[in-house]
Structures are given as C-alpha cells and as structure tokens.
Amino acid sequence: MRASAQRVGVLFAVLLTCLASTGCRAAAQTIDLSRLVVEPNPRIGLSFPGSQVRYYHYMAGAGVGVARIAVTWQLIEPERGRYNWRGLDERVGALLALGIRPFLTFESKSDWGTRPETSKVKNGDPTDLGLWTGFVGRVTERYDGDGRDDMPGLKGRVVHYQAANEWESPTNPSGGWIGSGAALIAYINATHDAVKAADTQAVFVLGGIASFNLDVLLVALDRADFRVQQRWSEASTTVFDRDRIKSPDIAALIDERVMPVLREARYDIADAHLYGPEERDAARLALLAELSGRPVLSAECGGPSRDYGDDYTPEGHFLAAVHRHLNVLASGGAFCLWFRLGEDDKTTWGNRFTALYTNDARPKPGVWAFRMLARLLGPDVLPHPLPSGGFELRGSGDPVRLAWGEGAADVLDWAARGSTPAWCLIDPVQGTLAPVGADCAPGAFIVAGSDVARLLSLDP
C-alpha cells in the first residue's frame, strides 16, 4: 500500500513538471481519434471478420490491413469434384477491394474426405492426402493472381496461407488433431507442398499454438513460473499449477508432439496466439521463435481477457489493442490479427469482449487504438520496448513514445526534459487524447513526440 502511494506521488510530481515545461504546454490541441480517417495498414490485422462482407468496411475504417478468413473443405467442395466458390470468392474479393490483404487458414473438415473419427475437430485427417492437397492446390491457384485459373475479376493476390490451427490438442474444437504426431507432420508437409507447388511466392504459416499452451511450455521448460488458467464461466476455471505442468503426461505431449512438429514440419513462419496477460507476450514469442527456428507472427490475438479475473473496461480494451500489436511488432512479427470484428457468443467466456465492435456495430475503444496505430506505424517504423514499460517508435522522423501504468511517469519525464508535446487518454469511449494536464489520471495512457500532432491530425 505504501509503495503504491509513493508511485502515485511520483506520477503527480512528473505531471506537474511536465505542465511547467514549454514542451508539454506545446501540445495545445485535443486529438479526437474517432474522427481520424485512415488507410488500411498491413501491420494491423483482424482474425475472422465473419462471412457478411457488408460489414468489412468497418475493418478498413479501423485501419485493418490484413484479415484472416477460414477456408473449409466441406463448404467449398461439398462432394468430391463439385466446387462452390461463391462464398470464398466474395470474401476474398471484398477484402482486396478494400485494400485488405487476405490471410487464408485451411480447415480440413469434410463429411466425405476425412476419417469419421476425426469429425469433431476442424483439422480432420484426410482419408486420401492426394484429394486434400488437390483441393489446397486449387484454392492457392485461384488466388495467386498469375492469370491462370484465377478467380474471375481477381484484383490482387493472396500471400499468406495456413493449416493446422491449434494442433496441439485432440479435443480443441477451434482446430485440434486426432491422430499421431507423425500423421500430423505428414498432413502439414503435404499442405505446405501443395501451396508452394501452386505459388512459389506464397508464405506458409504453421497453425497457431494456443496462448494457454504457450504458457504451459514456458513453465515446463523453466522459462517462467506462473499459474496457467482459462475460465469457461463465472464458476468454472481450468488451472494448471507448476506441479501439473511438470507432470509426465505434459512432458510426453511436449516431447512426442509439440517439439517434433516445430522441428520437422515444413513452414515459413510460426504462429503464437496471444490472450491473457499481455506482459507474457514477449516471452511467448521469443520461446516459439527459439523452438521453431522461424520468424513468428500472431494470427490470433485479443484482449482484455477475463481468464485471470480481470473485468472488461473501455480503457483496458484500448490498452490491450496497443500493447498486443506493439508486442508482436517489437518481436519482429509481421502483424497481430485481432480476434473478431463484432461481438457474439461464439467465443470462450474469457474472450467474450475482445471484438472491435459491439453486436450492434458501435465502435469500441480498440477501434480508436487501431486508428492511432495505423497513423503512427509507418512502413519504416519499429517499436522498441522501454525499460519501465511502454514503447518507443523509431524510424522516419522523431521518436514517439507510448506508455501507461508504471511506464507513464518515465514518458512524461522524457517529454518534460526534451520539451516534447505529450497527450493522455482522458476518454477511451470517445477516443479523446488531451494535452497533458489536470485531467490526466496517474498511470493513464500517454503518447508523446514532436510529430504526434501532425501524424494524428485530421489532415496529416
């Protein structure tokens, strides 16, 4: 309690210093993030926007430049040799028309093409890998933009393809794999080879590892020591403590499935799914890069999560969107694909409120965070973590610093010492950044930099 009070005192002292300096006073204008008009930014993304393309313009309006959509075998080839491209063509075409790059995740769920005992997961085990890879090749050829067997009217191309989403568990309904590790590796390699045969320039991403399992890996390999949990409801939570994680069955799963897939499967990029505490992301991403020997991105991320007892707050939604995207980019990842466009009940309990929009299409605070990042993250700008928390964006122009919580005081001090304009988030619901002053709560989100006013202006 005494340490917390001391920290608040430090924040107020730094705030007063900033107010007394000419630099903080130079930030004279309030910034209304809700009024920013942005272009799609390929470093900001979204996962699973749904099949109703009439809502896709909401992504472009938030600055989303990459969108992940599912390619389900059963829906496109409901019977062997009979194809229905209408839905997928519509989604790919709509994304490209908006300037958003499609990211296609294959799902081998098929009533006729996979073993019946694997029908409860989305990564069904094909009865004939040749039939599956034929399908994969047709899809890739249709969207590679080479002018041969392309989708009619294709404007652009698809670069990223993925298979075997959340493959670690045989019971995961979001992906899963029922079968041996050897069969899984054969499935991944066959899918990779089919994509590359159709488009040598395509990028093949291994299916993502769930955040729960990444945390288990960190503890099991002695890279961290924390509790791992997922909440299914107010009253139901799965909890793995250190003893459970160090058990022989977990060790066997890692040795017999996880490590062989990461080391023996063919893929270009690994995928870390990121939920729960944002503070764990850097360790998760670093571990997966080490174990896979590949670059890492996040094709599914979101927050704030309720898995660890936190409640949804507007400020938490804004901060999670900023923190998660910059975590991935700072690790060298190409992008982070935020989980869902609009709210619905088809998520886990913990991730119920991650979506960018409410179910009646009202923007949530993460939209304002996306728009801000779409402006700040130019093609040559890279985020670098700050020692006390937050990030410095370096690249073209002067640096920009962003921080919140305990890191906010240091950014305010940096702004004061350099006579640098600074703003704080005073209203996450409306997306209002005010010049640093009396309305800034201790620990509030801070953005500071000499170029911020220009970059976040209505007419940049």
Q: What is the pLDDT of residues 299-336, one digit of tens each?
A: 999 999 899 988 899 999 999 999 999 999 999 999 99
| Torsion angle defined by CA atoms of residues 240, 291, 280 and 415, in that order, rounded to the nearest 10 degrees | 170
pLDDT of residue 10: 42
What is the residue-wise DSSP string for 174-201?
A: TS---S-HHHHHHHHHHHHHHHHHH-TT
pLDDT of residue 346: 79
For residue 177, which of 267, 107, 268 has the smallest C-alpha distance?
A: 107
What single DSSP character describes residue 109?
Answer: -
The pLDDT confidence band at residue 28, using thresholds 50, 70 and 90, is low
| Rounded Cα–Cα distance for residues 23 and 347 (Å) | 45
Please report the sign of the dihedral spanned by the C-alpha atoms of residue 238, residue 239, residue 244, residue 246: positive
Q: What is the pLDDT of residues 253-281, one digit of tens each?
A: 999 999 999 999 999 999 999 999 999 99
Rounded to whole angstroms, what are the CA distances from 265 to 48, 136, 177, 188, 293? Answer: 25, 17, 15, 6, 12
pTM of this prediction?
A: 0.93
pLDDT of residue 6: 45
Q: Check whether 8 has a pLDDT greater than 70.
A: no
pLDDT of residue 115: 96
Residue 140 vs residue 440, higher pLDDT: 140
pLDDT of residue 9: 47
The pLDDT confidence band at residue 348, using thresholds 50, 70 and 90, is confident
Put the strands of the sheet holding 31-32 in their side by side order.
Answer: 31-32, 432-435, 422-427, 446-448, 400-403, 391-394, 382-385
Q: What are phi and psi of 51, to 5 degrees?
A: -95, -5
pLDDT of residue 23: 47
Residue 168 vs residue 15, higher pLDDT: 168
| Rounded Cα–Cα distance for residues 298 and 287 (Å) | 13
| One-letter amino acid of 415 | A
Q: What are phi and psi of 112, to 5 degrees?
A: -105, -20
Residue with tokens 């073209």: 396
Please report the sign of the dihedral spanned by the C-alpha atoms of residue 194, residue 195, residue 199, residue 200: negative
For 345, residues 6+ apart whose C-beta sits below 8 A from its C-beta are 352
CA atoms within 13 A of residue 263's CA, in its CB half-sphere: 9
| Rounded Cα–Cα distance for residues 141 and 351 (Å) | 35
Please report the sign of the dihedral spanned by the C-alpha atoms of residue 81, residue 145, residue 109, residue 123: positive
